[in-house]
Amino acid sequence: MTDPRRTRLALAALVALAGLTSPGLSGCGASPSASGPGGPTGPTGPTGPAEPITAPAETWTWVPFPDAQCADGSATGIGVNLTSRSSDLVVYFEGGGACWDDQTCFTYDLAVHVTGGYGPAEFAAEAPGAAAPFDRGATANPLKDASFVFVPYCTGDLNAGAATRTYGTHLVHHAGAANVAAYLRRLAVTFPGARRVYVTGSSAGGFAAQINYPRFAAAFPSAELHALADSAQAVQPLLGLYPIWLAAWNPVIPAGCSGCAGDLTALPAWLADTYPDGRFALLAYEQDGTLAAYFGLYTAADYKAATLGLFASAYDGRANAHYFALDGTSHTMLGSLPTLATSPGGTTLQAWVGQWYAGDAGWASLKP
């Protein structure tokens, strides 16, 4: 399906191209925050003892976090579905666009839940349990025996920002980094015996999974930690958007990734090299029309070239980083986990994700 935000994004990108985006920011001179090996882990929130999360087994339950907030300042939380089937933990970051000024956040509404927030009513309406990756009844689902955590998206900053901005008449809290810190404090004591932790997400959530990976590594030092980014290939944005995003969100990016402050493509390679025991999976449509628009009005051909270039620079030749790529302009794959395949009769997405999940020696990159 065509993302309804794509047309609005095209208009917003033209605003950026005309040089009208940056003046909409308040206090844009901030430098990106840092996290990762050898550096701080970003906002930490409360410092007292963390309370483990309790919830009925294998039932989706909303867990409010008074110390986490949406862009509009309202409190938010996470959804959990706990099980004793295994000690595995799957954390899923919700997607839903991004925004960085008055036009993108409010005129064009390019990020979900920036207005109105995200609480128990929104969680109940979205019903993540209906999604294929969380289907415990599907015997072929490789994730079915894990405990699940659903991280909603309501900050417009890839769940990585650390800034409060005034856009027009709106006060906006790009609080994704502090929210993740609050969630990790409780998740770490809720799953002290986690053997394997999988950080995943789709679209904006896939970028959140990559950016926040070092913070999960710090929170779960004894566990295997693996990441899957669905439709979140880290190509370099056009139109000068990347420094605009960094200025607006002040994101907590890995301190050790020296190239990340100027080049988004540096991130996946840095992760794979810095965490050699982790497995880094990317699901990507080579001409993804939604990302092509958000990343600065790429043509389909140019976006495919950028994606293939990323494959070559960040994934090919690395034993712990692989991609499952399909031709086309569609966006996100995990919702079609049981049905997508490289070709009729070819490798299914479900089988490939299963290899990533299990650490199968046959796990490898696949593309058309």
* Span of 44-58, 80-94, 139-153, 255-269 with lowest mean pLDDT: 44-58
pLDDT for position 127: 83
Q: Tell me, what amino acid is at 45?
A: G
Domains of the chain: 5-358 (3.40.50)
pLDDT digits (tens, 9 = 90+) for 284-314: 999 999 999 999 989 999 999 999 999 999 9
Report d(CA 275, CA 271) in Å as an integer: 6
Residue 232: helix, strand or coil by DSSP?
coil
Strands (E), the chain: 33-35, 61-69, 75-81, 89-93, 147-151, 163-167, 170-174, 196-202, 224-230, 252-254, 280-285, 321-326
Report d(CA 47, CA 6) in Å as an integer: 41
Question: Higher confidence at residue 30 or residue 203?
Answer: 203
Check if the beta carbon of residue 245 is closer than 8 Å to that of residue 260: no
How far lies 71's CA from each of 94, 116, 159, 187, 235, in Å? 15, 9, 11, 23, 26
Q: What is the mean pLDDT of residues 316-329?
A: 98
pLDDT for position 37: 41
Report d(CA 110, CA 97) in Å as an integer: 6
Report d(CA 252, CA 232) in Å as an integer: 18
Report d(CA 107, CA 20) in Å as an integer: 13
pLDDT digits (tens, 9 = 90+) for 245-267: 999 999 999 989 999 999 999 99
The sign of the torsion formed by the CA atoms of 214, 220, 224, 229 equals negative
Rg, the chain, Cα only: 19
pTM comes to 0.91
| 3 state SS for 145-201 | CCEEEEECCCCCCCCCCCEEEEECCEEEEECHHHHHHHHHHHHHHHCCCCCEEEEEE
pLDDT for position 14: 42
Report d(CA 95, CA 152) in Å as an integer: 8
- Tokens standing for 73? 């300042």
Check if the beta carbon of residue 187 is closer than 8 Å to that of residue 212: no
The yes-or-no verdict on residue 7 having pLDDT over 90 is no
